[in-house]
Amino acid sequence: MMHPHNDTLTAIESIRVGHAALPGGLSGCTVILPQGGATAGVDVRGGAPATCGTDTLHPLNLVHKVHGLFFAGGSAFGLSVAEGLKRYLRDQRVGFDTGHGLVPIVSGAMIFDLGMNTTDRHPDAELGYEACLAASDAPVPEGCEGAGLGATVGKLHGLHRGMKGGLGTFCIEAPTGVQVGALMVVNAFGNVVEPSGAKTLAGCRESAESLKILDAEQEIRRLTKLRGFPEGQHTVVGAVATNVKLTKTQLTKVAQMAHDGLARVIFPAHTLYDGDTIFALSCGDGPNAEVSIIGALAAQATAQAVVRAVIRARAVSRLPAHGDLS
């Protein structure tokens, strides 16, 4: 079903996205379901990743398609979401034909949001299945949705001085017919700035009571040590997708280039305390285009998705959001 004015990831034909939230908790999960599976690549840049199925996507390995991607809160506990996603795909008779049955191939990544979720439950198989049932090709809800529920940004001086992050998505439709979209869960250690760098959109505040954001570039020059665990809870994870037919090797390059988008709007990015991970999907048979063009557009879409994640977030618990700034 076509939806007018859709500038999110689901503008790319055959992609469905679904969210699910923990009842009463600030954590959740998000699934991406490409119809019939999609050729995929991945690139991990952060120093503290929590991932699932990334080795499968190495260009030298056999399987070249994934049937679903997931992003979840809960750190390593969120791995359980994969079981719900696989169960849903099995029920839909979708998977890699082993000759002894269909085995769904799924990959994903988790964010560290344990300091925001005050319940005893973490995203699990049941929540993953729920997100699959909610998946549609409608414009993707953004902000404090799905895996972005417990996301935060700007933690140079700890979570208590940070701001609310979230989930954002954006799709570029070029005059050539090429489509490149991105979906990002923004739980960054650093501040989020406009692509021009002219304005900080969300980040580390001068104090827990202040709404004035520190200049991260200046502040980091004063520091000799960053706050990692247990005070930190970081990582930006997400996916880019295109309607151009690409190989797994080419998509690995696209995923690498997409990380440039994070570096344009997050400072600092790819720290030892982040687990930044981006998957890349090829869906459909769109026009031919060189892989470097797709990578460049992926970086643009990624940057815009990050910006939208924080702009569309709302204040939660003790942390303000972009909309609370004067």
Pairing mode, strands 191-193 and 200-202 = antiparallel
The verdict on whether omega for the bond into residue 230 sits within 30 degrees of 0, i.e. cis, is: yes
What is the arithmetic mean of pLDDT over 292-304? Answer: 98
pLDDT at 108: 97
Q: What is the DSSP letter of 136?
A: B
The pLDDT tens digits of the residues spanning 182-236 come to 999 999 999 999 998 889 999 999 999 999 999 999 998 988 877 655 545 678 9
* 8 Å CB contact between 310 and 164: yes
Expressed as residue numbers, the domain containing 122 is 9-324
* 8 Å CB contact between 312 and 187: no
Which residue is associated with the tokens 């414009």? Answer: 139
Per the model's pLDDT, the better-predicted residue between 63 and 296 turns out to be 296
User: How far apart are alpha carbons 147 and 112 in whole angstroms?
Assistant: 10
Number of domains comprising the chain = 1
pLDDT at 227: 64
Judge whether 222 lies within some domain: yes
Judge whether 4 lies within some domain: no
The pLDDT tens digits of the residues spanning 111-130 come to 999 889 888 899 999 999 99
Judge whether 2 lies within some domain: no
User: How far apart are alpha carbons 112 and 89 in whole angstroms?
Assistant: 26
* 8 Å CB contact between 307 and 185: no
pLDDT at 230: 52
Which run of H or of E encompasses 297? helix 291-311
pLDDT at 120: 87
Residue 161 has pLDDT above 70, yes or no: yes
Most confident option among 36-50, 67-81, 273-287: 67-81
Q: What is the DSSP letter of 93?
A: T
The DSSP-derived string for 172-232 is EE-TTS-EEEEEEEEE-SSEEE-TTSS-EEE--BSSTT--PBP-HHHHGGG-S----TTT-
Tokens of 115: 């300091």
pLDDT at 180: 98
Judge whether 1 lies within some domain: no
What is the arithmetic mean of pLDDT over 69-93? Answer: 96
Residue 318 has pLDDT above 60, yes or no: yes
* 8 Å CB contact between 121 and 159: no
* 8 Å CB contact between 276 and 262: yes
Judge whether 306 lies within some domain: yes
Judge whether 184 lies within some domain: yes
Q: Which of 234, 189, 237 is nearest to 216 (CA)?
A: 189
What is the average pLDDT value for the chain, to the nearest integer?
Answer: 93
Backbone angles phi, psi at 304, to 5 degrees: -70, -35
Bridge partner list, 240: 182, 280
User: How far apart are alpha carbons 279 and 89 in whole angstroms?
Assistant: 19
User: How far apart are alpha carbons 295 and 105 in whole angstroms?
Assistant: 24
The pLDDT tens digits of the residues spanning 17-62 come to 999 999 988 999 999 999 999 999 999 987 788 899 999 999 999 8
pLDDT at 228: 54
| Total residues found in the chain within this entry | 326
Judge whether 250 lies within some domain: yes
Which run of H or of E encompasses 255? helix 248-265
What CATH code is carried by the domain that includes residue 194? 3.60.70.12
Q: How many helices (H) and strands (E) does the chain have?
A: 5, 18
